[in-house]
Structure 1
Amino acid sequence: MKFIKKVSLLPWKWKLTLALSVSIFLTYSIFSFFEFHTVSSWLLNQEETDMKQAMEQVVQQLNIKERDLTEEELTDNIALLEKLNNNNQLIRVLDDDGHAILSDMNGDFPIIEPNQIYNDEQFHYISIGEQNSIVYSKELKLPSFKGRVEIIRSLQSLDKVREHLRFAMMLFTIAALLISGLIGYFISYLLLRPVNSMTKTMKKIKNTGFKERMPVYRQKDEISDLTIIFNEMMDVIEQSFQQQKQFIEDASHELRTPVSVLEGHLSMLNRWGKNNKDILEESLVASTEEVTRLKKLIISLLDLSRLEQNRGESDLTPERVKLVLEHTIRDFTMLHQDFTFQMKLDSLHLYKVSEQHLQQIITILMDNAVKYSFQEKNIFLHTYETDHHFVLEISDQGIGIPKEDIDKVFDRFYRVDKARSREQGGTGLGLAIAKKIVELYKGTITIKSKVGQGTKVMVRFHI
């Protein structure tokens, strides 16, 4: 357990090196173990096969049917045994009493005593001193003689081969351990190089900002995917940071004006307004207007902040969609009696948006349409379906938006005509809030506009 705990504290480079080295080493060791025993078994089988062949030849030569050899005649066949014998092998013929009447030994190795007879035709592995041998015997029947033929083969050569094989495999195992260590270190280096690069990039980001990116490797693997995701994440973080920075700058600028106006009027009241009713009334009206504008701005900022955290529950039905649209048109007709509001509802199938958010979207878009319509005061609201999408379309015949500003009007605090927007009490957050709501429900909002002819805003939600 202590060893495992120490290993767990090592850097990942050495963990991977150790893991790869151990796995390669164990794999090679297991392979070598089975290979050694396979080769040893094959060599022993070869020895047994050779002994069987030698036994068959000896018995066949001695058991000649045309001749009836006596025991005395058998003793004269030493030349036959010498001819059939192999290196490190003893061939002998034993009588029923276990006495060797014919024997030939090729080599120098200890043998078993003649009276130690194995009567079964099986291979017997014996050890005499430090020498290993194998014994094989077979019955010999002649008309005038009955006994056994016995072959004893020394396994000295086999033991030497096995010893050399074992030594070679040990050397290869040690070499495999060293090579596996080098391979493991190299592979861990390759595997961790992107991680090290990511670490360096993160340190640079920490010190210099969000401009640094990881190099994307050519090979399409998990590490490459990780670098791509990391770079994409850094793009999002940088964009979010820039938006936050811009948001803070814009918010500070927007808040500075009403706060400065309030400060000025309060200072004027403090100096002269206490005894001057005209100054008092003027300052109170101006301060009230600025507080109202400041309240709107703060509410819009809070709404935008809440939208970035969650979205409402989808509780709409076609009946509720119709009710919301009609209620909104009725409210705007009452507030702006000099405007003409028209509505055409070709579809009410909107289910995946909360009623509150739908109300908020329509209010923002209708309010913008009213604000920027000075001469032709006609507003048209139309709903319909196309390509499995519910479309909410609000058109006006107002001043329109220049082409170069259409993509910017959804930015926070952006105004096409800042002076006029401020006079009308706008915060520059309406369209930003509307777009954020639409995106929460995977929808899209687009604008088509021509200067002097009007603007059409289209909101699409997938049905």
Structure 2
Amino acid sequence: MRHLPHMITRRLAKRISPTSLQFRLTVELIAIAVLGVSGVAIWAGWRMEQTLISVHKQNLEYIAARFPEQVELYREMGSVETGVKATIDKLSTPELLIWVRSPDGQILSRPSAINSSPPELMNGVVTTDVPAQPTVFRFGDRYVVLCGNPLSISGTPLGQVYILKDITEDQMRLNAGVHSLILSSIVAVVLLVIAISRRIRRALQPLQQMSQVASAVSADDLSGAKLELDRAPDEIVGLAQAFNEMLVRLSGSWDQQRQFVGNVSHELRTPLSVITGYLQSLLRRGDNLSPHQQQAVATASAEAERTIRMLEDLLDLARVDSGNLHFRLTPILLNTLVMEVAQMSQKVSNRQIDLFVTNEDVMVCADQDRLQQVLINLVDNAIKYSEPDQAVDLVLEKTEQQAAIHVRDRGVGIALAHQQRIFERFYRVDESMTRSRDGTGLGLAIAKSLIEGMDGRITLRSKLGEGSLFTITLPLWKPQA
């Protein structure tokens, strides 16, 4: 039972992150509650024990102080021994034992009840150095208050008077009360733990809602995202309002950025196409140009064409962001498409493309031109980042629910730190690991957008020095009955 708060704390730790505010507040308040309740219980138990012992001690001190007077009173009826015996018989009870011992250790007088006392009690008393002040002792299962004082009658020392009071029953009742107090404290701590954890979880629920909204917000739904909190504290309501205003500003900035990229890409494509045409015409008719001039014009033409390709990629991404990129989804046979891509890439690059196609017909509902664009891009990347003598594998597989197209190379590979960002726009792996600088850093971002637009997924597995594996998965086409 005493380990129950620790069990609850461990369960909370499993459900809540140890670094979260909810966990820290819960643990701190539980610790304060446990310390507070435990402190009160310990103090209450100690106070009860002190009250009980104090009463018995005062009783023994009173008896010890009046004992010589009682002996003097009863002495008038006879000898000193008669007075001592009469006083002991007068004051003794079943719980209170009094005896007198001479300086040489002989017991001068004692009550008859002492003979019926438990042997372990009397043996313990005999071997104990009895203090002058009443003190609590435990002998076996018995609790007693014991004291010993010198006894003198009319200035004549008679020895020591010992007073013992058995408080076992009172101590047992006290122990039972302390146990009940401990049990009540444990129950109170458990109830406090449950109440505190629930209250903190409820108080921090608006922050969890904010976290969920922030995690779900993407660039496509900034304008529609809004955090609405009911019956939240004023501080959290103010934070939610600031969060909503931030989303509005981000949405406006993102729309302006997309519009700017689309407009610039569209406006620059036409003049660059004109420049490329003039440069190519100059190369065809530039017989009077020197080799250095011809090389400069060829370089300018290649860079202009590369810039045009990048602008076209930017336009595609702008259409994706604005939702204006439309797909012509039709049932297509992937077996034929994959074979055409392999033949086309092998002919253009003069590199070996190993094709592995399942014997089953694999039908998917997709945009054939867009899917072909993605496959050509992946195969082209695999060729660029592998050695000339290394083949590229193009594999088509079919499962019960989906089709999978794998593009595998055995090139330099991609480090794990870069794999999470490889599909981001303009992100490129370290130039020292690449074989070509012709890319724009947009090809994989466009491929991801196109595949997701066709309800598919594109993933990457790679290892440095062993190559990369890009996988496209698309749901199988199921004709309607």
TM-score above 0.5, yes or no? no
With the shorter chain as reference, the TM-score category is 0.3 to 0.5
- Please tell me whether Structure 1 or Structure 2 has the larger radius of gyration of its CA atoms: 1
Normalized against structure 1, the TM-score is what? 0.45
